[in-house]
A and B are shown apart, each in its own frame.
Chain A
Amino acid sequence: MENLYLLVPAAPLLGAIVAGLFGRQIGLIGSHRATIALVALSFIASVVIFIDVLQGNLYNGSVYTWMTSGETVIEIGFLIDTLSATMMMVVTGVSLMVHIYTIGYMQGDPGYQRFFSYISLFTFSMLMLVMSNNFLQLFFGWEAVGLVSYLLIGFWYTRPTAIYANLKAFLVNRIADIGFLLGIALILANVGTLDYELVFTHAGYLASRTIEIVPGESWMLMTVICLLLFIGAMGKSAQFPLHVWLPDSMEGPTPISALIHAATMVTAGIFMVARMSPLFELSVTVHSVIFVIGGITTLFMALVAVVQNDIKRVVAYSTLSQLGYMTVALGASAYSAAIFHLMTHAFFKALLFLGAGSVIIAMHHEQDMRKMGGLKRYMPITFGTMFVAALASAGVPGFSGFFSKDAIIEGVLLSEIPGAGFAYFCALSTVFVTALYTFRLIFMTFYGEPGMDSHTRDHLRESPWVVTVPLILLAIPTVAAGWLIDPMLFGGFFTEAIYIDAQHDVMAKMGESYTGIFGMMIHALTTPPFWLAMSGIFTAWFLYRYQTALPGKIKKLANPIYILLDRKYFIDELYSWLFAGGLRTLSTVLWKYVDMKVIDGLMVNGTARAMGWFAMMGRRFQSGYIYHYAFSMIVGVFVLMSIWLFPF
């Protein structure tokens, strides 16, 4: 079995190397065949491992020793349990779909092989992240996915916006990574190991310690560690206020928006917190922080999605909001619900993105929804699959998103941790907003009068099979994955992988009143989320199908609010003024004044000048005139004699 574990990340790595280094030799078809075959192999291996894990065969072992120093031993290794096996399935499954889809989407692009190399490299990095059994490898995967994300956002490197967005994404993530790295360092400094299992056995010790970061202020060590780790998660999973990079990341080609910026990489933060549940469970304070951050992200990002006209940006803000849901679930200690939503979201959001990509292909790379409309007739498969994804996203009973989102909202309602009330309000009201923007997208794109020019309109047609087959294959779990709620949330599926303190085990409480899938669906009809979702869809229909002049009027009427949302609360402007501008000014001052004027000008060259001055003065004494020397001799004798005659 160990070899199979190794095969899962090794296969896509090999694919990345082959397509990356020998892409020119093996050609376009060779590159995509090689990478797809190897990712498929990885997917099959993941399925086999998943089945094996279901039979109770867990694994935790090292592959090689990375480094030793003093007492510290850091190893690279794998931890295979239900959590990592689930993630492996999701990552390799979505990756495989995206690989196939890419054949259609990237056709004719000069960077074809490079693109396949990157997405395979991404798959490898993400697998290293989820399969890790230690913090070092986690951090490696964490940064490696960041690197590939950087490369892929900037894939079309001649576009100024793309190379601005990728730098921004990398740097914002780096800010968060400082927190993450410091959290890891605190763990190592206190327990002397980075191995998950050993760290978890010391969790009680960590919780009993305090740390004085500000002298005189004693804080719980565990709270500090978890806060730092969570800052890392906020960067990767794009939580407010570090979310600014994700919408801009849409500059990259659409397949990677689906794979990296919706389904997998951005969920790494959620996964990490779930993986660290034995630590997070020991600090209530952190849960409150998570509630607030998650709640803000959920609601406020969803509101932005309502006013976007770029089809990809709507989906991007929707992703932010859905990540907020997962974060809220983490706050409620409903880790399994977070992972469950992560999984269903991976499917329906990847489907939404790939569907949007299919639309973009047909529209000749036009992304403005105002120029679309009426596409239903031309693209039946894209429409059908995206409609399914929209239903799941809006949380209509029966579709996957309904089950996972409902579980989260229910969990937050049951939670007694401070902050739960705020998070519940955000999560609940967002249900309405989600349904509204999702169906706004559907109506603007597929219904109504075509808004494109006649040339584009004449060429409108359904995308080729390499695009539509992945859509159909993703539509299946988009409907069906929700039905796994039975085993995954209430069947003790994650018992081995996730630790929940009995005092705030909301999932157990929820399980007491759980009466099966159909019971849940019928019960939902009497709860607010269902009616909020329905009214959201209705509102979207009313505004964009029935009274189509109304949105324009509302926009005029509530103009300040519209501008606030359209400019994304001016956070980008604030950051670029405060951080980018501030740092540039500081840099100039330190360089031009402190470094060049004070240190180099005054101290270094000043010393040289002073030496020169002394030498000049010294030279004056060596004038060569006898009477100068005689005079100084007389002065000298006089001074010496006075000292000798009048000893003080």
Chain B
Amino acid sequence: MLFGFPLLSLIIWLPIISGLIVFLMSDRNTQAVRWVALAGSVAGFLVALPLYSGFDTSMGSMQFIERNVWFERLNVYYYLGVDGISMPLILLNSFTTPLVVIAGWEVIREKVSQYMGAFLIMSGVLNGVFASLDAILFYSFWEASLVPMFIIIGVWGGPNRIYAALKFFLYTFLGSLLMLVALIYLYQASGGSFSILDYHHLPIPMTAQILIFIGFMVAFAVKVPMWPVHTWLPDAHVEAPTGGSVVLAAILLKLGGYGFLRFSLPITPDASHELSWILIVLSLIAIVYIGIVALMQRDMKKLIAYSSVSHMGFVTLGFFLFNPIGMEGAMVQMISHGFISGALFLCVGVLYDRLHTRMIADYGGVVNRMPAFAALFMLFAMANSGLPGTSGFVGEFMVIMGSMEVNFWYAFFAALTLILGASYSLWLYKKVVFGAVANPNVEGMKDISAREFLVLAILAVAVLALGIYPLPLTEVMHVTVDNLLEHVARTKL
């Protein structure tokens, strides 16, 4: 264990600083820019590893704590720390960044330094969101994370990128304003503290709890995104470049899920119980309704975006079941969804780079020309359908098990994903990959390059490893989740 060493700061600022360096290098030597970006992102991942190896799974409180004064007059601290909930998310984020850099290697030819820089900076900022224990620090990182993504969509996006970027920004920004109001109320009520952990123990009357809960809920539900505030996501995904979609799906959506665990549940436990049925119903609607909508999509990215919303329904469902298997399942689902949706967007990117179309109808029989790609895509499509042995199964299985403890019908509707997930994933696969070569464009497609193979293979290993042996992941969450559930069971009125 690294006592006193500011590991979390390193994890946050190393990517940001390398991002700034990449940014300043400008595009004179794009090859050098790429290598520096790769080095920065890999270093960012490597420094995050001690977080896992040094993590004390028996400890319920925060670990790797750093606390320094930031604004003394306002009681704002530079206060960092992680527990079993945030630590895996930081690892996921740090793991994803190098993959995004490699995925954009030859694909991005214009403004390379800015593209790579934006991703590195975003990576550090997102680590900051997960590690912050001070509300102002958290809020700063939270809003800061919007900027790089706004730029990524707005600059390197598709034809309708301005609409999508604006929609993405305004939607999520407006959502977070209500969170800011809630935080200011908590600041007042706690007698001038911005420490999130202080809020956890703050008694709050029921009416205020409900209002705070709703304030947080709006902010987080937009991020997740939950039904019916999900419509920004398909637009954002369709217009975003591949790397943008990967980070959006793999990490940015997790901010919403993380928020529920760090804010809503522990700060307003009574309101959470009172209103849990709303969250459960909305989650089930997301799983079933969005799953059905995904069936008829003609745009590959839209299909995966809808599938993403449907799978994130399991996350919010698991949180509000108030049992360990449901909550840990939801956590596993967050990590697994990061791997799978990221991989699927990369797969679409591979196809898009070749034919420059996202329409399913423009493909067909890809397997004849790209067998290695077809094999990897098959694995991810199956993981997306929740096949046991892949990570996609673990989270859904656990959440369905947890739902059954609460209500048969919750489990039933959640289990419908077995059909819906398989239907849209395999339908997509059938239309795009199987069949005879559909047109001369497909005939000319080349199988994946070593670079593309590397990225997809790494994700394939991750998907399989988590599916075959999820224990190392669930183990780090136990104590934190048990503490949280115990905390949520106590009234704070």
Query: Measuring CB to CB, which residues of chain A are less than 8 angstroms from any residue of chain B?
Result: 64-72, 136, 139-140, 142-144, 147, 150-151, 154, 157-158, 160, 163, 167, 170-171, 174-175, 177-178, 181-182, 184-186, 188-189, 211, 213, 583-584, 586-588, 590-591, 594-595, 599-600, 603-604, 608
- 16 interchain pairs, CB-CB under 8 A: A67-B394, A69-B398, A69-B474, A70-B325, A70-B328, A143-B389, A170-B426, A174-B422, A175-B419, A181-B400, A182-B415, A188-B401, A189-B405, A213-B408, A584-B296, A604-B232
B210 at the interface (CB under 8 A from A): no
Which residues of B are at the interface with A, using a C-beta cutoff of 8 A? 167, 170-171, 228, 231-232, 289, 292-297, 323-325, 328-329, 365, 367-368, 378, 382, 387-389, 393-394, 397-398, 400-401, 403-405, 408-409, 411-412, 415-416, 418-419, 422-423, 426-427, 430, 433-436, 469-471, 474-475, 478, 482
Q: A147-B382, A170-B422, A591-B293 are in contact. Are A189 and B404 (CB under 8 A)?
A: yes
Q: How far does the alpha carbon of A103 sit from the alpha carbon of B195 in the complex, in Å?
A: 69
Q: Is the CB of A68 within 8 A of B388?
A: no
State whether A158 and B436 are in contact (beta carbons under 8 Å apart), knowing that A171-B423, A186-B404 are contacts in the complex: yes
**Residues of chain A with a CB closer than 8 A to B387's CB:** 143-144, 147
CB-defined contacts of A586 to chain B, threshold 8 Å: 292
A170 contacts across to B, CB distance below 8 A: 422, 426
Residue pair B228, A599 in contact (C-beta under 8 Å): yes
Q: When chains A and B are docked, how far (Å) is the Cα of A61 from the Cα of B421? A: 34
Measured CB to CB, the closest approach of chain B to A121, in angstroms, equals 11
- Considering the complex, give the chain B residue whose CB is closest to the CB of A188: B401
Contact A66 B470 (CB under 8 A): yes
Taking the nearest CB of chain A, how far is it from the CB of B334, in angstroms?
A: 15
C-alpha gap A174/B427 in the complex (Å): 14
B167, B365, B426, B470: most-surrounded residue (chain A CB, <10 A): B426
Is the CB–CB distance between A603 and B324 below 8 Å? no
Report how far A72 CA is from B323 CA in the complex, Å: 11
For A583, give its contact among B171, B295, B412 (CB under 8 Å). Answer: B295
Q: How many angstroms between the C-alpha atoms of A595 and B482 in the bound complex? A: 38
Return chain B residues, CB-CB under 8 Å to A67: 394, 398, 470-471, 474
Q: Which of B382, B408, B427 meets A167, CB within 8 Å?
A: B427
Taking the nearest CB of chain A, how far is it from the CB of B179, in angstroms? 19
CB-CB nearest 5 A-B residue pairs: A70-B324, A185-B404, A140-B388, A600-B231, A587-B296
How many Å lie between the Cα of A59 and that of B436 in the bound state?
Answer: 49
Interfacial chain A residues near B232, Cβ < 8 Å: 604
Task: Indicate if the CB atoms of B292 and A587 lie closer than 8 Å.
Answer: yes
Q: Tell me the complex Cα distance, A83–B388, Å.
A: 24
B residues within 8 A CB of A154? Answer: 434
User: For residue B292, which residues in chain A have a CB less than 8 angstroms away from its CB?
Assistant: 583, 586-587, 590
Contact A68 B419 (CB under 8 A): no
Task: Report B-chain residues with C-beta under 8 Å of the C-beta of A604.
Answer: 167, 171, 231-232
- How distant is B342 from chain A, measured CB to nearest CB, in Å? 22
CB-CB under 8 A from A595, the residues of chain B are 231, 293
B residues near A175, Cβ cutoff 8 Å: 419
A211 to chain B, nearest CB (A): 7
Query: Which residues of B are found within 8 Å of A184, using beta-carbon distances?
Result: 401
B411:A158 contact, CB within 8 angstroms: no
Q: Majority SS of interface residues in chain A?
A: helix
The docked-state distance in angstroms from the alpha carbon of A588 to that of B328 is 34
The B interface, classified by DSSP as helix, strand, loop or mixed, is helix
CB distance from B262 to the nearest CB of A (A): 20
With A170-B426, A584-B295, A600-B231 known, 17 other A-B pairs at CB within 8 A are A66-B469, A67-B394, A67-B470, A68-B474, A69-B324, A69-B328, A139-B388, A151-B378, A170-B422, A171-B419, A178-B418, A182-B404, A185-B411, A588-B296, A591-B296, A594-B289, A603-B228
Query: Given A143-B388, A590-B289, are A167 and B415 also a contact pair (CB < 8 Å)?
Result: no
CA distance A158 to B374 in the complex (A): 13
Which of chain B's residues have a CB closer than 8 A to the CB of A167? 426-427, 430
Q: Is the CB of A157 within 8 A of B367?
A: yes
When distances are taken between beta carbons in the complex, the residues of chain A under 8 Å from B294 are 587
Alpha-carbon distance A23/B167, docked complex (angstroms): 49
Shortest beta-carbon distance from A412 to chain B in Å:
33
- What number of A-B contacts does a CB cutoff of 8 Å give? 138
Minimal beta-carbon separation of B423 from chain A (angstroms): 6
A584-B427 Cα distance, complex, nearest whole Å: 12
Contact A599 B388 (CB under 8 A): no
Given contacts A143-B387, A144-B388, A182-B412, contact A163 B325 (CB under 8 A): no
By beta carbon, the residue of chain B nearest A125 is B389
Q: Which residue of the partner chain A has the closest CB to B324? A: A70
Docked complex Cα distance between A548 and B290 (Å): 58
Task: Report chain A residues within 8 Å CB of B478.
Answer: 68-69
A residues less than 8 Å from B324 (CB atoms): 69-72
Contacts of B408 in A (CB 8 A): 182, 186, 211, 213
Max chain A Cβ within 10 angstroms of own Cβ: one of B324, B401, B409: B401
Q: Which chain A residues border B325 with CB–CB below 8 Å? A: 69-70, 72
Q: In the complex, how many angstroms separate the beta carbon of A429 from the nearest chain B beta carbon?
A: 35
Q: Tell me the minimal C-beta distance from A251 to chain B in angstroms.
A: 12
Report the minimum CB–CB distance from B167 to chain A (whole Å). 8
Distance (whole angstroms) from the CB of A228 to the closest CB of chain B: 10
B430: chain A residues at CB < 8 Å are 163, 167
Which residue of B412, B415, B434 contacts A157 across the interface (Cβ within 8 Å)? B434
Beta-carbon contact of B422 and A178 below 8 Å: no
Question: B389 touching A144 by the CB < 8 A rule?
Answer: yes
Q: Which of B293, B415, B426, B475 contacts A587 (CB 8 A)?
A: B293
Contact indicator A599/B296 (Cβ below 8 Å): no
In the assembled complex, which residues on chain B have CB atoms less than 8 Å from the CB atom of A151? 378
**B415 A178 Cβ-Cβ under 8 A:** yes
Q: How far is the CA of A591 from the CA of B297 in the complex (A)?
A: 9
| Assembly CA distance A71 to B401 (angstroms) | 13
A184 to B436, CA, bound (A): 40
- Report the separation of the CA atoms of residues A39 and B349 in the bound assembly, to the nearest whole angstrom: 39
Q: Smallest distance from the beta carbon of A62 to chain B beta carbons, Å?
A: 12
From A72, A177, A182, B411 is in contact (CB under 8 Å) with A182
Q: Give A185's nearest chain B residue, CB to CB.
A: B404
- A160 contacts B435, CB within 8 Å? yes
C-alpha gap A454/B292 in the complex (Å): 53
- The interface residues of chain B lying within 8 Å CB-to-CB of A139 are 388
Q: Bound state CA distance, A140 and B464, in angstroms?
A: 13
CA distance A64 to B387 in the complex (A): 20
Measured CB to CB, the closest approach of chain A to B487, in angstroms, equals 15
Tell me whether A188 and B404 are in contact in the complex, defined as CB-CB below 8 angstroms, given that A66-B470, A587-B295, A587-B296 are known contacts.
yes
B231/A189 in contact, CB under 8 A:
no
Is A68's CB under 8 angstroms from B475's CB?
A: yes
Q: Which residues on the B side are within 8 Å of A591 (C-beta)?
A: 293, 296-297
Residues from chain B with a CB closer than 8 A to the CB of A142 are: 388
The CA of A163 and the CA of B170, in the complex, are separated in Å by 43
Separation of A37 and B323 alpha carbons in the complex (Å): 48
Taking each of B296, B328, B388, B398, which has the highest tally of chain A beta carbons within 10 Å of its own beta carbon? B388
Q: Whole-angstrom distance from the CB of B268 to the nearest CB of chain A?
A: 23
Q: In the complex, what's the smallest C-beta–C-beta distance from A348 to chain B, in angstroms?
A: 32
Residues on A with C-beta less than 8 A from B296 are 584, 587-588, 591
Asked whether B471 lies within 8 Å of A66 as measured between CB atoms, the reply is yes
Alpha-carbon distance between A259 and B289 when the two chains are bound, in angstroms: 38
- Could you say which residues of chain B place their CB within 8 Å of the CB of A171? 419, 422-423, 426
B482→A70 contact, CB < 8 A:
yes
In Å, the complex CA distance between A6 and B151 comes to: 53
- By beta carbon, the residue of chain A nearest B232 is A604
Contacts of B415 in A (CB 8 A): 178, 181-182, 185
For the complex, give the distance between the alpha carbons of A68 and B403 in Å: 17
Q: How far is the CA of A147 from the CA of B422 in the complex (A)?
A: 11
Give chain A residues whose Cβ lies under 8 Å from the Cβ of B400.
181-182, 185
Interface-central residue, A150, A175, A182, by most chain B CB under 10 Å: A182
Is the CB–CB distance between A174 and B231 below 8 Å?
Answer: no
Task: For residue B401, give the distance in angstroms from its CB to the closest CB of chain A.
Answer: 5
Name the A residues within 8 Å of B297 (CB-CB): 591
Which residue of chain A has the shortest Cβ distance to B424 in the bound complex?
A587
Q: Report the separation of the CA atoms of residues A167 and B323 in the bound assembly, to the nearest whole angstrom.
A: 36
